[in-house]
Amino acid sequence: MSDAAATAVPSGESAEAALAFLTEMSPDLRGAAVLGPAGELLAATGEEPGRWAEDAAALFATADAAEGTPVEQVHIATEQGEVFAIRNEGLAAVAVTERFALASLMLFDMRSMLRELASATPHFGGSEPPKPRSGG
């Protein structure tokens, strides 16, 4: 999961806060994970969090092989739901959503989450409630 932009691995606590924020912002989210620069699991939802790193690595490896170069994002839609995977700032995130999630919005939220997580002082949530978004 190489992306040379990140220099430090975020704490597990920061990654958990990032996932909580993504969950709050994305009502269609079924589950998600945040991965560090080497593909290590930083935070995940669900009962089998260890599976996320393994499955994300396989997903990125397959997409990279098809493209011939490392891909920045992956979106797979099926009748049962959708899968999003993104690399940004040296980190990666994978999310599974309900069917018909707004892809552009989901990828934007994931990218924003990773940028904030990679910043020197990540801040998720806080005293101000998130601003509502329109779009569908």
How does pLDDT run across 54-63, given as a tens digit for each residue?
999 999 999 9
Evaluate if residue 53 carries a pLDDT over 70: yes
Evaluate if residue 112 carries a pLDDT over 80: yes
Whole-model pTM? 0.82
- Tell me 39's DSSP state: S
pLDDT digits (tens, 9 = 90+) for 55-97: 999 999 999 999 899 999 999 999 999 999 999 999 999 999 9
Torsion of CA 94, 126, 129, 81, to 10 degrees: 10
Domains identified in the chain, total number: 1
Evaluate if residue 100 carries a pLDDT over 80: yes
What's the CATH code of the domain at 70?
Answer: 3.30.450.30
Residue 134, in any domain of the structure: no
Domain of 109?
12-118
Residue 87, in any domain of the structure: yes
Residue 67, in any domain of the structure: yes
Residue 132, in any domain of the structure: no
Cα→Cα distances 25→49, 59, 131, 134, Å? 21, 24, 9, 12
